[in-house]
Structure 1
Amino acid sequence: MAKYFDVHPDNPQPRTIRTVADSVRAGALIAYPTDSCFALGCRLGSHDGVNRIRSIRDLDERHHFTLVCQNFAQLGQFVQIGNDVFRAIKAATPGRYTFILPATKEVPRKLLHPKKKTVGVRIPDHVVTQALLAELGEPLLSSTLLLPDEDEPLTQGWEIKERLDHVVDAVVDSGDCGTEPTTVVDFSGPEPEVVRQGAGDPARFM
């Protein structure tokens, strides 16, 4: 059964955040809130976590996983980014965007798009997520909590606990976090391409 953590949305309890971070370090797969939907998350190097996310969401190898990062300095360790792209992304973070960029060697091959060698990255504007990332000290490997054959992501912590009780290890709930996924912008080509319009305003990249 999944552990359930009720976290204050504005002042997350440090002890609870430490407990969740410790469980991630130990290999746990968690469901957690962001500024744009709940997400599934695990440690970057967790092969078991990756396989479990693929299984829960019924994903193929072409799916772009997202590294949810605490800040821009951390993000820069995992993707290759030129000056123009740097400025464009810097102006939009933290926020409800996911950016697809060429990955550095810090990213395990299993997480890369098989042809493009890219990975998704984002910096969320969410108090609880930021507290967890700060305590963890590394990105969360993540994917939106959207189940197969469903049009909308799961949005209620109690429902996530009820439906995914035997396939995730913990549910972190801090209340409503919206139903709209991030806007996804692909910076791996010569021009930015908005590949999914979501919660972030796409106009700045079009």
Structure 2
Amino acid sequence: MSDRVEVHPVNPQGRLIEAAAERLVEGALVLCPTDAGYTLVWSQASRDAEERVQRLRALDTKHPFTLLCAAMSEAGRLARLDNRTFQLFRSLTPGPCTFILPASPELPRRLKQSKRRTIGIRIPDHPVTQALIAAVREPLLSTTAALPDDEDVPSHDAEAMAERWLRHVDVMLDAGDCPPGPTSIIDASGKDEPQVVRQGFQPLPF
């Protein structure tokens, strides 16, 4: 049975975050608020949670997921950032921007098995997400919380997301409504200038 856990959106209760982090380490699938709608998150080690996401969202096994990081230092270990990309990344994060970057040789073994050459990374600007990543002590895998027929379900609306997702996830961290999303997606994986793949709900300064 799913747990709907009400957390403070600005000062999330430590004991509740720690309990959710323990569930993640055990393999749980969690619905979490971010600065761009509610998002599905799970531990890098949890194949079961990832396979559940693939089934729920009707995704193939090659679908790329995004890593949510707490800080630039974590992003720098997972991806290669040249000076130009570093400056752009730093100027737009934390915030609702996902960067597609060249994967680092130091990518964790679990992620290397996908033989990916690029990786999606973002640093969310939401206290609950930040606290959860810090409690797990490593970046979390994530994807949009949208079922195949979810076109009209607002991902920022806590009540709507609870109604849609509680039967599918193990834990929902309910911090009330959050910013609507989507994130902007910036492809900085090539030698050319970074390209905006998707303009998100917040205007980009370029």
TM-score (structure 1 length as normaliser): 0.90
Q: Structure 1 residues 181-190 or 145-154, which shifts more?
A: 145-154
2: distance between equivalents of 1:197 and 1:59? 23
Aligned length, in residue pairs: 201
How do 1:157-168 and structure 2 match up within 5 A?
A: 157-168=158-169
Aligned counterpart, 2:75: 75
Ranges of 4+ aligned residues in structure 1 off by more than 2 Å: 60-64, 109-113, 149-167, 199-204
1: distance between equivalents of 2:114 and 2:19? 26
What per-residue deviation string (whole Å, max 9, x for no partner) do you get for residues 92-147 of structure 1? Answer: 1111100001112424135565xxx2111000111111111111111110001122
| Letter of the structure 2 residue corresponding to residue 68 of structure 1 | L
- 2:134 aligned with 1:109: no
Aligned counterpart, 1:130: 130
Aligned counterpart, 1:151: 151
What per-residue deviation string (whole Å, max 9, x for no partner) do you get for residues 55-105 of structure 1? Answer: 121122453210000010011111111111111101111111000011124
Pick closer, same or farther for the CA change 1:103–1:44 going to 2, 3 Å. Answer: same
Aligned counterpart, 1:88: 88
Percent identical: 41
**Contact 2:35-2:181 within 8 A present in 1 as well:** no
Aligned counterpart, 1:56: 56
**Contact 1:69-1:75 within 8 A present in 2 as well:** yes
Where does structure 1 lack aligned partners over 5 or more consecutive residues? none
**Contact 1:112-1:118 within 8 A present in 2 as well:** no
Q: Structure 1 residues 126-135 or 160-169, which shifts more?
A: 160-169
Where does structure 2 lack aligned partners over 5 or more consecutive residues? none
**Contact 1:32-1:173 within 8 A present in 2 as well:** yes
**Contact 1:157-1:172 within 8 A present in 2 as well:** no
2: distance between equivalents of 1:202 and 1:112? 31
